[in-house]
Amino acid sequence: MFDRSISYEWLREEQPTIKQVLSLTKSIKEEAIREFYYRQQPKIISIADLGCSSAELNNLGVVSELIAVVEEARRQLGDGPLEYHVCLNDLPGNDFNTVFRSLTKFEEKLQKEIMGDDAKDFGHCFVNGVPGSFYGRLFPSNSMHFVHSSYSLMWLSQVPEAVDENKGNICIAKTSPPSVVKAYFEQFQNDFTMFLRCRSMELIGGGKMVLTILGRKTNEPYAKESSYMYELLATVLNNMVTEGLIEEEKLNRFNIPFYAPSPTEVGFLIEKEGSFSLNQIYVSQVSWQPGHNYNTSNNGNNGASNQEEDCDNVQWYDFVKCMRSVSEPLLTSHFGEGIIEEVFQRYSQIVRVSMLKEKNAFVNLIAVVEEARRQLGDGPLEYHVCLNDLPGNDFNAVFRSLTKFEKLQKEIMGDDEKNFGHCFVNGVPGSFYERLFPCNSMHFVHSSCSLMGLSQVPEAVEENKGNIYIAETSPPSVVRAYFEQFQNDCTMFLRCRSKELIGGGKMVLTILGRKTNEPYARESSYMYELLATVLYNMVAEGLIEEES
């Protein structure tokens, strides 16, 4: 599986090219989700962003725009508050920690731009991280309402087989033999078909997808608009071979798992797979030059806009940063780190010369599709596992361990693997003293050695001097403050879970406690008394300030 998990560091900054792409598709996404809501009017809306990367701009910005559109439609219809279930997907190696740490800003944006002064009129928004390849199953059957993916589906799951004859090139080019072109298309066909098949099982009937793919306008597989950026990179690498900086054999074995489809190919594959009806394919251009105007048109629509405007200030640096972000991991893994700076210094020069001579543009294909067929029935169970902790937890480490978890599953199933359904694992950042999941969505909740951790230090514990927790010398006011804080927290925990569990759902809670009614019983407090002894000895030795 091609790992592009570290190829989006550049997207953490608000780069002009990405802002253009997101702005370009904004009205299309909004119209699609607005139409869906008017038709379905669900109480809970599940939205997925596939290939989300670790960029706040690339995923949470899109999500907040979609929520704003639905909220406007909801209020127009006079409907009550909704719950939003947002699933952010990328490969397990993606930096989900950064995504989850940005949730505070996301919530502030929702508060400011959508809720305003009327917070009671807005339901809950639950954000999950979903590690895995979108060329396989990601979500339980019939669970998603709207799926969005931007600039991800042109990346293949692997370098196609039978591309040994593509010498001198690193992707499809004019000099690529027909066998190489065929191999690339067949790999895209297999991957895209699998993507559609998986999403068709996960979307509800009438659910929508908006897919933005870097593509080409024509049926020519080596059209300049889709291959030129890699032809320039191939030129740099071939020059370095000539100068003895790169081994020719290594270059001949290097191919990029990238295929830019045409509108005809995308439409054909959607129709052939058969699960979706194609509402529309839009074709648009985004200049390599930041700030250059772009245009969007319905494919085959005579009313298409064709405005173009010259951009006097040629800015090539943004484009080179974009290309470096997606190409550097591939180059590093194949050639090593030693040549990277030289490659991109040369690439910058050759791109700058090209952009001074001519106008270059990306071509985007925006496909709006609707789930048209339901194929659900009895069979193996599907498991939806939600792993929760605070946003500061290392979810990256958790997600990287999923390979071992899947291996263990296979060992347990043995020869009966076909009779076992899918298991979907999500990361759910947030405090369990608040809502975490949509209403009536959970069947079983487990918590071990967590609920004795209070949401905050109780108020009015200033009189607990000499202790760091409840102890025999703690005054009654301190004991009462600790109990009241636990009472408030535990009550809130139960109240939240009661809304999330289905009727008859179960919880198993393991809590570090005490056998007696004595609040400072040795079994619950002695470990902290020992720690307090250490700290006060260090105060006596002048290593810690007594006031601290």
Q: What is the maximum span of the chain, computed from C-alpha positions, in angstroms? A: 85
Q: What is the DSSP string of 186-227?
A: HHHHHHHHHHHHHHHHHEEEEEEEEEEEEE-SSS-TT-HHHH
436: left (phi over 0), alpha (psi -120 to 50) or beta: alpha
- pLDDT for res 410: 74
Q: Is the dihedral of CA 375, 381, 382, 388 positive or negative?
A: positive
Amino acid at residue number 473: T
Q: Which one-letter DSSP state was computed for residue 418? A: G
Spatial contact of 348 and 317, defined as CB atoms under 8 Å apart? yes
pLDDT at 340 over 70: yes
For residues 17-36, average pLDDT: 79
Highest-pLDDT range among 311-320, 348-357, 499-508: 499-508
> 457 versus 407: which is more confidently predicted?
457
Q: Using 50, 70 and 90 to split pLDDT, how confident is the model at 159?
A: very high
pLDDT at 4 over 60: no
Taking the CA atoms of residue 294, residue 300, residue 303 and residue 305 in that order, the dihedral angle to the nearest 10 degrees is 10
Q: Using 50, 70 and 90 to split pLDDT, how confident is the model at 466?
A: confident
Instruction: Tell me the C-alpha to C-alpha distance, in Å, between residue 420 and each of 12, 131, 409, 410, 537.
Output: 39, 20, 10, 10, 58
Q: Using 50, 70 and 90 to split pLDDT, how confident is the model at 325?
A: confident
pLDDT at 21 over 80: no
The enclosing H or E element of 449 equals none
Highest-pLDDT range among 93-97, 241-245, 363-367: 241-245
- pLDDT for res 118: 67
Spatial contact of 216 and 260, defined as CB atoms under 8 Å apart? yes
Rounded CA-CA distance 69/84 in Å is 13
> 152 versus 19: which is more confidently predicted?
152
- pLDDT for res 456: 94
Rounded CA-CA distance 41/359 in Å is 45
- How much is the mean pLDDT over the chain? 85
- pLDDT for res 68: 92
For residues 436-450, average pLDDT: 95
Quick count: other Cβ atoms within 10 Å of Cβ 88? 27
Q: Using 50, 70 and 90 to split pLDDT, how confident is the model at 9?
A: very low
* Per-domain boundaries in the chain: 9-371, 441-548
For residues 203-208, average pLDDT: 94
Comparing 73-87, 109-123, 261-275, 442-456, which segment has the lowest mean pLDDT? Answer: 109-123
- pLDDT for res 6: 28
- pLDDT for res 297: 57
Determine how β-strand 44-50 pairs with β-strand 83-90.
Answer: parallel
pLDDT at 547 over 80: yes
Q: Is the dihedral of CA 488, 492, 493, 495 positive or negative?
A: positive
pLDDT at 15 over 60: no
Comparing 442-446, 486-490, 525-529, which segment has the lowest mean pLDDT? Answer: 525-529
Amino acid at residue number 147: V
- pLDDT for res 8: 31
For residues 128-144, average pLDDT: 96
Token pair recorded at residue 161:
């087989």
- pLDDT for res 309: 37
pLDDT at 354 over 80: yes
Rounded CA-CA distance 403/58 in Å is 27
Query: pLDDT tens across 507-539, in order?
Result: 999 999 999 998 888 888 888 889 999 999 999
Rounded CA-CA distance 495/260 in Å is 50
Candidates 182, 314, 185; CA nearest to 259 is 185
Q: Using 50, 70 and 90 to split pLDDT, how confident is the model at 307?
A: very low
Long-range CB contacts for residues 518-527, cutoff 8 Å, separation at least 24? 519/470, 519/479, 519/482, 519/483, 520/470, 520/471, 520/472, 520/474, 520/479, 524/470, 525/469, 525/470, 525/471
pLDDT at 291 over 60: no
- pLDDT for res 308: 35
Q: Which residues is 365 bridged to in the sheet? A: 213, 283
CATH topology of domain 9-371: Rossmann fold (3.40.50)
pLDDT at 56 over 60: no
For residues 298-309, average pLDDT: 40
Token pair recorded at residue 185:
């298309």
Quick count: other Cβ atoms within 10 Å of Cβ 30? 18
pLDDT at 114 over 90: no
pLDDT at 88 over 70: yes
pLDDT at 352 over 90: no
Q: Using 50, 70 and 90 to split pLDDT, how confident is the model at 116?
A: low
Rounded CA-CA distance 122/112 in Å is 12
- pLDDT for res 37: 95
- pLDDT for res 433: 96
- pLDDT for res 222: 86
Token pair recorded at residue 218:
């024509």
Token pair recorded at residue 275:
């699960």
For residues 403-407, average pLDDT: 83
For residues 144-173, average pLDDT: 93
Cα–Cα–Cα angle for 6, 12, 14, nearest 5°? Answer: 140
> 312 versus 500: which is more confidently predicted?
500
Query: pLDDT tens across 178-196, in order?
Result: 999 999 999 999 999 999 9
Token pair recorded at residue 110:
């929702």
Q: Does the model's pTM come out above 0.75? A: yes
Candidates 374, 502, 530; CA nearest to 441 is 502
- pLDDT for res 19: 59
Rounded CA-CA distance 18/10 in Å is 10
Give per-residue burial for 99-124: e unless 16+ CB within 10 Å, then b: bbebbeebeebbeeebeeeeeeebbb
- pLDDT for res 546: 86
> 251 versus 321: which is more confidently predicted?
251
Q: Using 50, 70 and 90 to split pLDDT, how confident is the model at 149?
A: very high
Q: What is the DSSP string of 319-361?
A: HHHHHHHHHHHHHHHHH-GGGHHHHHHHHHHHHHHHHHHS--E
